[in-house]
Structure 1
């Protein structure tokens, strides 16, 4: 009798003692990054483009409409991967090699990637897609913590292969640590996902994984598959003026924007749609059909990843984060920086697979609805990203959270999800303290301390956001402008003359941060480089 009692007591102790409970299963983490995609280019942020997978993730997850990136491709990637401001990671500008440590053009040894930080916590780590934070083999993903890699080491290329587009340029597609030659029928967005799915298949069943899926879509060149382009023939006949207004209204209805928000005026360099000739209208409609098709195909491939998770029985235990690396791109294909053959290809219709085109300001102004400016600047049009977080067991569904957050938060969030510790040293090097704040409380709907201030700098363009206030300037004028984003998210009413003391205080905040982060004034940096 006594023996039976002791057995029963032992069984109850096992059931109710936290120390004896099986460990909670660590979630898989998938980080998906779009390239040069504008703020309103997916359905759950107001677009007419068909993105059912992202829309469903948003509906059953979280949107943070005031989430920020670093306004340019490689600086954002460096910051996103390391949880530091890009200057602290060594990519203060682009991947141009410079002597100044903050601008050396590749990840330094005083930062760790999310992959490097998660491996000690038992994670397998995979990446597919665009790297763009160091071109030398010793700095490729497999040297920075990823177990497997497939993708484009460089910044952009044909979606159908790796043909160089600039003089004296070599483009590299790699599989792990070896160069890879694309096969017949290659299309980058599909290929990146194909390999990501292979990596997921190879993952040991008893280990959680981190997957960084960095699409090049919809970065120029405008390359899409015929069946996707066909879906958007005629979709852009209304023109940019009407489409901007329609997106704007949907964004207010969704709660992405406040009801009293204002739509920024059409870019002054863009004519009214009705003033265009028919050939001009057809050219833009063709560009937009291809651009939309690229985003559509990206969403289809996100759907493939979600389906794979279901097949693996991992869909309930995976957190997926989606965002874009900067605002829409105003860039065009021109002479000088591009090979003559590429420039000639830019004159072909975008739907021609042998073309090499971009949609320029006329497309980017629509993509960035409701904001002004584009990639490269620190206005909302350059830095605001359409952020979506989804994870059935972790992310509280159906919420639009308007609190500001930043790409530096992603590292801290991943470590929090994984129960991992940010290292003080790595491979014998002291590691710069992470800058982010974990978003897990936001995911769960609990109290979140947020940021005292957020900071931005790219090629002399500067900004600091503190609470609802944002101080921003454009290079080379360097004149501070002040906006209250609570009442003026589209930055139309400069209050700097009315609030000189606030300008002074926020400028001092920026200066202190810039010194700490290693920012060098851009004119000084350019002079040192001889630019």
Structure 2
């Protein structure tokens, strides 16, 4: 049964989370920070050796959620985050490939409304910097979807030092508001996204309106590009090897309560060789890649520190809630094949610390990033869909809070609207809008009992899952065979109980099928056949 998602304004007052409204609008500023391709254990407060003091301080001063889920890939997650719907309902069930099927249009459809559009209607200034990746047609740029101001990358990836297409026939576009933007000398994407975020906040602070900022860093998505001053701090740290790094992260995660003592560390991924089998040159090459990857996360954290400092300087820090998460798990992807230009393939062979290189950390690095889980970005295993989640709101969210309750990126819209006192629209620009799927977490942020979800659903490229309570039903495409796991005792998904509990499998499969039917999900084989036929024409 669909629960009522958005409370009335009088009930919002009753939560005690908001101050009473005054003529000088005292509703909170809302900041959502999204990392790109960052694994579950890649920040210090979730077990990493990477230095992330600003995120750690937010985690210690706010709420950590250990079972927060994304949609396993960049475009679907971004669609869900902005709309409060499952990605297929918003029209982005796959990537930005444009198809005729309603769930796979490759762009946000007219049956959804973005968080920016809803908050703008409710009196907020709306800003975005960073990666859009929800179709680069100009009619779908961020300024056409509710953002007052925008700076960032419209496509999925790029050099951090400028604008260099990496795919054949690709047109990559940075944009400032509604015009193309050409990066100049000294450009580094992570810093630039923050520069413009600070500029937007500074220039809008006298308008007596709260603001919504969606800061979507491209870090640490490939290519591995970092500044030498950051790389130097990490060289040599990874020479102990990936097995040792995973074990150390796993131990810290258990010691700090991120994962339970019942959880086991998954075996090294089958695509990753034993560390001892590598030559010294191969070991140094991997250490270099990981040093650059760590430097990218480190630099992102430094920039989050710059943002927090700006809030303090402008007196907005105690009026602002910040939520941080990642769009999917660590990425196994390699720079190889026909999807990349010859120049990029050549650049992939250069050392990762070379600014002209174009490299990725592949299965080996992603297996470390996703400690203690199996699989990666694109799969619906915990390694693909689990994100560290931090909510920080000084004086409102209790310091040192931790929640092990399952939540999903669809919840951010409902949460933000409740905090803002804004009603989710039934219609927008003459179009009927689908009801929200997410559940507001405002009561959880206030230290009260949260109703949570009856069930949470996942599908990407035929990989499927449903999470209900402590149970998770999961399948991999194209095998399409259901496996059943108990998340309370086996979050690493090592012990398949489907043969022992066939009734539970059938029960959860029915839930999945009903969701897929109403959420515009198609069998992936059907989409593949559609693409083959279209290519023949």
Report the TM-score range of the alignment, normalised by the length of the smaller protein. Answer: over 0.9
1:230 pairs with 2:227: no
1:398 pairs with 2:400: yes
Given candidates 484, 487, 497, the residue that maps to 1:485 is 487
CA contact (8 A) 1:317 1:393 kept: no
- After TM superposition, the structure 1 = structure 2 runs for residues 245-256 of structure 1, keeping only pairs within 5 Å, are 245-256=247-258
CA contact (8 A) 1:115 1:145 kept: yes
Q: Deviations over 1:396-423 (max 9, x none)?
A: 2101100000000000000010000000
Deviates more, 1:200-209 or 1:82-91: 200-209
- After TM superposition, the structure 1 = structure 2 runs for residues 129-528 of structure 1, keeping only pairs within 5 Å, are 129-205=130-206, 206-528=208-530
The aligned residue for residue 37 of structure 2 is: 36
Structure 1 residues 329, 21: CA separation in 2 closer, same or farther (over 3 Å shift)? Answer: closer
CA contact (8 A) 2:21 2:27 kept: no
1:84 pairs with 2:85: yes
Q: Deviations over 1:455-497 (max 9, x none)?
A: 0000100000000000000000000000000000100000000
> Following the alignment from structure 1 to structure 2, what is the Cα–Cα distance between the partners of residues 322 and 374?
20
Aligned residue pair count = 514
CA contact (8 A) 1:31 1:322 kept: yes
The aligned residue for residue 113 of structure 1 is: 114
Structure 1 residues 273, 100: CA separation in 2 closer, same or farther (over 3 Å shift)? Answer: same
Q: Deviations over 1:27-75 (max 9, x none)?
A: 0000000000010000000000000000000000001010000000000
Quote the offset at 1:78 in angstroms: 0.4
Structure 1 residues 20, 150: CA separation in 2 closer, same or farther (over 3 Å shift)? Answer: closer
Quote the offset at 1:393 in angstroms: 3.0
TM value normalised by structure 2: 0.94
> Following the alignment from structure 2 to structure 1, what is the Cα–Cα distance between the partners of residues 432 and 397?
34
SS in 2 for 1:26: coil
> Following the alignment from structure 1 to structure 2, what is the Cα–Cα distance between the partners of residues 138 and 462?
32
Quote the offset at 1:204 in angstroms: 3.6
> Following the alignment from structure 2 to structure 1, what is the Cα–Cα distance between the partners of residues 306 and 295?
17
Quote the offset at 1:233 in angstroms: 1.1
Quote the offset at 1:20 in angstroms: 10
> Following the alignment from structure 2 to structure 1, what is the Cα–Cα distance between the partners of residues 118 and 408?
19
Quote the offset at 1:133 in angstroms: 0.6
Quote the offset at 1:22 in angstroms: 6.0
Structure 1 residues 20, 411: CA separation in 2 closer, same or farther (over 3 Å shift)? Answer: closer
SS in 1 for 2:298: helix
CA contact (8 A) 2:151 2:177 kept: yes
> Following the alignment from structure 1 to structure 2, what is the Cα–Cα distance between the partners of residues 389 and 193?
19
> Following the alignment from structure 2 to structure 1, what is the Cα–Cα distance between the partners of residues 293 and 164?
20
SS in 1 for 2:472: strand
SS in 2 for 1:319: strand
The aligned residue for residue 51 of structure 2 is: 50
Structure 1 residues 420, 526: CA separation in 2 closer, same or farther (over 3 Å shift)? Answer: same
> Following the alignment from structure 2 to structure 1, what is the Cα–Cα distance between the partners of residues 204 and 415?
22
Deviates more, 1:377-386 or 1:23-32: 23-32
> Following the alignment from structure 1 to structure 2, what is the Cα–Cα distance between the partners of residues 505 and 19?
45
Quote the offset at 1:501 in angstroms: 0.2
